[in-house]
Chain A
Amino acid sequence: MNVEGKFTPQTWPDSPEKQTLEGKNKFLGFWLFLGGETVLFATLFATYLALKEKGSSITTEELFSMPLVFAMTMLLLSSSLTSVYAIYHMKNYNFKLMQAWFLLTVFLGFGFLCLEIYEFYHYVHGEHFTYSSSAFSSAYYTLVGTHGAHVTFGLLWFIALLVRNAKRGLNLYNAPKYYVASLYWHFIDVVWVFIFTVVYLMGMVG
């Protein structure tokens, strides 16, 4: 099929992300990357669990606040749903609605990032809990910060796609790009599910 060709909703194929060889390769390669990312985050989780509360005068129960973590979780979970909506509109060849839902995803993700920055700022200046305070603080900031860096990268990735394709419209060249970016965003949400459970909730019960 012609990569840059124009389509109508009627002629738009099923699974547009896998219609070209490049799309197929991207799909498979990206999942392999996500398998590797799983291992990357596992090493950070393992280090965090091993060093939890080691060498620190402040305990996790004193540090974490449930309302903030709850708000962050709801923002990121909702942003996962909005990106599912965007892919739904991609499959129906509705470019404008796809862009709109991805834009909403970006806003929700940005909200999450702002709360995380507030949280870290509060820990450093309010609690004097800095990166080099203890083995525990280093492990905590490395784990949660790596996730935050992934969120930042995901947001920039979405914005780049939205801006670059704004006038181009949807075709078989950029459909795999949008699809893969949404997979990345879901993976970020998967990691957050483990962070809010293992780091925050388990930290609050001691």
Chain B
Amino acid sequence: MTNEHVSKTNVREQYEYRRKKNAKEMKLQVVTFALMIFLTLIAFMAVGFSEHIPVKFIAPFILLLAIIQVIFQLYYFMHANHKGHELPMFYMYCGAATAFLTILAFCTIVWW
């Protein structure tokens, strides 16, 4: 086998590997999407049938569903589960921590 032949086989193998990897990831994305739709439906149904469910339970429950859905969105749709996302996720968690503190302060120690 010549060198040229080896490198051609390599390119083809790498290409096929990438295609398969991308197709596998896309399948996972569709599953993620189905789960997100499912969570959304549960949240809307919890509010739609609010006469049968205690109101104090609904708010934290749908908030939890929203947080789970956002984690799906960040880690799958925005590819944060791929390597090289350490610094981006550091930025996002800093943003989320600031967001949490701001909302907590406005809802508790600031009065209007």
A interface residues, Cβ below 8 angstroms from B? 9-11, 14-15, 18, 27-28, 31-32, 34-39, 41-43, 45-47, 49-51, 54, 66, 70, 73-74, 77, 80-81, 84-85, 88, 91-92, 135, 183, 186-187, 189-190, 193-194, 196-198, 201-202, 204-206
- The reply to whether B106 and A190 form a contact with Cβ atoms under 8 Å apart is no
Q: A51-B112, A183-B78 are in contact. Are A202 and B59 (CB under 8 A)?
A: yes
Cβ contacts under 8 Å, B82 to chain A: 15
Interface residues of B in 9-30 (CB under 8 A from A): 11-12, 15, 18-19, 22, 25-26, 29-30
Known: A50-B112, A197-B66, A205-B58. A88 touches B29 (CB 8 A): yes
Partner of B92, one of A31, A54, A74: A31
- Minimum distance in angstroms from A124 CB to a CB of chain B: 24
CA distance A39 to B98 in the complex (A): 6
State whether B29 touches A84 (Cβ < 8 A): yes
Residues of B whose CB lies within 8 Å of any CB of A are: 11-12, 15, 18-19, 22, 25-26, 29-30, 33, 36-37, 40, 43-44, 46-48, 50, 55, 58-59, 62-63, 65-66, 69-70, 73-74, 77-78, 82, 84, 87-88, 91-92, 94-96, 98-100, 102-103, 105-107, 110, 112
* A70 to B91 CA separation, bound complex (whole angstroms): 31
Instruction: Count A-B pairs with CB separation below 8 Å.
Output: 139
Show 23 residue pairs from A and B whose CB-CB distance is below 8 angstroms, ordered by the A residue.
A28-B87, A31-B92, A34-B88, A34-B92, A36-B95, A37-B95, A39-B99, A42-B100, A42-B103, A45-B99, A46-B107, A74-B37, A84-B26, A88-B29, A91-B22, A186-B77, A190-B70, A190-B73, A190-B74, A197-B63, A197-B66, A201-B46, A205-B59
Residue of A28, A32, A54 most packed against chain B (CB within 10 A): A32
A197: which of B33, B65, B88 is its contact (CB, 8 Å)? B65
Report how far A49 CA is from B105 CA in the complex, Å: 11
In the complex, chain B residues whose CB is within 8 Å of the CB of A92: 18-19, 22
Per CB-CB distance, the 8 closest pairs between chain A and chain B, nearest first, are A42-B99, A38-B95, A31-B88, A46-B106, A35-B91, A35-B95, A197-B66, A50-B106
Contacts of A42 in B (CB 8 A): 95, 98-100, 102-103
For residue A202, give the distance in angstroms from its CB to the closest CB of chain B: 5
